[in-house]
């Protein structure tokens, strides 16, 4: 029988570690353990390259886009909505919960988190809000940070206006047949209606004035994306249809409709139609648009497909000059993406692409080169601070 023995120095070390005296060697003195010092970390001010990413179905994680590192996490379900205050000091989350998990007494809240510490500072009771997978247009903030606008469905549709200074719901405005929120530059918001028109809500002190526009798109033949974009500083909006038709609108009590244009035609291609077998480059995804207001560029997640493929992941990002309009750049993605956002700065803007693989690709918006790929476990949705 073959025997194996450990080296002598290992045997001696293990014996000494057991506190046994061998050959006159004194017992080992156990190390003095230092008491653990606990602390609470704080975050630096939210920068231009900060991005909040929906991670899984129960949280949003704050990332540093320059380092590709996670900074902190906020609890948020897949039907919750989240917004960053214009001054970047607060993060608001609209939440819904039931007393027995998936049933029981329902409660709706708007939670206010300190963006520096991620502490919950206020919790504001709400009427029943509209529940859908995350859409930024379900929770919007006024440009001055005074008001939050929350889309409701109970089952009639409405918008709850929350006074963020007083931390209470101020009023609910009924918007029958309409949905979502697109804030004006000052004192109001618009919603999109089922007949292709806008309902416009002007807030003046304690009074509310509601007006209605004429239809400006065909809601039955070619509806617009719910994720259409608005510049909160100017109140200008870009409503984009499933085929890629862009409708510029200056929001207000009397909206001003601009001349529509085609994403494909602006790229030198035939405009896409509504034929099921008509293959064309089309917008699509969970979050297919990002409007970089600082230089008036529209970033669009594009794929090749037929009509009604508006949920399909994109393989390229097309960048448009909105003022002309014309295509400036086509950016290949490392793999198909569900959604995009773009940092608000002009010095070194970044594209945050939420890939179908659940990774986050960080690209230079200038060169289109991939700078980092992060294992973010993303569900496809992300938001960035306002400029």
- 100 in any annotated domain: no
* Dihedral over Cα of 117, 123, 124, 127: its sign: positive
Instruction: Write down the pLDDT at residue 26.
Output: 57
Instruction: Write down the pLDDT at residue 25.
Output: 55
Residue 299 main-chain phi, psi, to 5 deg? -100, 130
Give dist(CA 294, CA 288) in Å, integer: 19
Q: How sure is the predictor about 129, in pLDDT bands with cuts at 50, 70 and 90?
A: confident
pTM: 0.89
Number of domains composing the chain = 1
- 23 in any annotated domain: no
Residues spanned by the domain of 331: 270-386
Give dist(CA 230, CA 189) in Å, integer: 11
Instruction: Tell me the pLDDT tens digit for each residue of 136-193.
Output: 899 999 999 999 999 998 889 999 999 999 999 999 999 999 999 999 999 999 999 9
Instruction: Tell me the pLDDT tens digit for each residue of 31-79.
Output: 888 888 777 789 999 999 999 999 877 899 999 999 999 999 999 888 8
CATH code, 323: 2.130.10.10
Instruction: Tell me the pLDDT tens digit for each residue of 94-112.
Output: 999 999 988 999 999 999 9
- 349 in any annotated domain: yes
Instruction: Tell me the pLDDT tens digit for each residue of 34-47.
Output: 888 777 789 999 99
- 335 in any annotated domain: yes
- 351 in any annotated domain: yes
- 199 in any annotated domain: no
Give dist(CA 349, CA 384) in Å, integer: 12
- 208 in any annotated domain: no
- 15 in any annotated domain: no
């Amino acid at each position: 029988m073959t025997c194996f023995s450990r080296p002598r120095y290992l045997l001696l070390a293990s014996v000494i570690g057991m506190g046994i005296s061998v050959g006159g060697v004194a017992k080992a003195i156990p190390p003095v353990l230092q008491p653990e010092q606990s602390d609470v970390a704080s975050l630096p001010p939210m920068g231009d390259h900060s991005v909040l990413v929906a991670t899984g179905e129960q949280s949003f994680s704050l990332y540093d886009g320059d380092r590709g590192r996670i900074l902190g996490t906020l609890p948020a379900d897949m039907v919750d909505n989240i917004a960053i205050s214009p001054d970047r000091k607060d993060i608001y989350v609209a939440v819904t919960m039931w007393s027995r998990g998936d049933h029981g007494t329902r409660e709706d809240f708007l939670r206010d988190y300190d963006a520096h510490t991620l502490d919950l500072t206020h919790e504001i009771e709400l009427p029943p809000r509209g529940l859908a997978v995350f859409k930024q247009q379900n929770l919007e903030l006024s440009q001055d940070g005074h008001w939050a606008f929350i889309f409701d469905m109970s089952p009639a549709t409405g918008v709850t206006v929350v006074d963020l200074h007083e931390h209470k719901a101020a009023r609910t405005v009924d918007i029958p047949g309409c949905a979502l929120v697109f804030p004006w530059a000052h004192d109001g918001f618009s919603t999109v209606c089922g007949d292709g028109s806008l309902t416009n809500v002007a807030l003046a002190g304690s009074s509310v004035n509601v007006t209605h526009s004429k239809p400006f798109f065909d809601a039955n033949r070619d509806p617009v994306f719910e994720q259409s974009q608005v510049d909160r500083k100017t109140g200008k909006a870009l409503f984009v249809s499933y085929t890629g038709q862009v409708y510029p609108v200056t929001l207000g009590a009397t909206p001003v409709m601009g001349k529509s244009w085609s994403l494909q035609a602006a790229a030198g291609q035939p405009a896409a139609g509504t034929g099921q077998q008509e293959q064309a480059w089309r917008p699509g995804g969970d979050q297919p648009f990002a409007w970089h207001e600082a230089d008036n560029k529209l970033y669009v997640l594009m794929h090749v497909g037929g009509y009604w493929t508006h949920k399909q992941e994109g393989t390229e990002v097309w960048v448009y000059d909105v003022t002309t309009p014309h295509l400036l750049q086509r950016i290949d993605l490392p793999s198909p993406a569900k959604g995009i956002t773009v940092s608000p700065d002009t010095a070194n803007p970044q594209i945050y692409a939420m890939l179908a693989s659940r990774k986050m690709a960080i690209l230079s918006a200038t060169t289109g080169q991939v700078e980092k790929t992060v294992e973010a476990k993303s569900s496809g949705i992300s938001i960035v601070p306002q400029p």
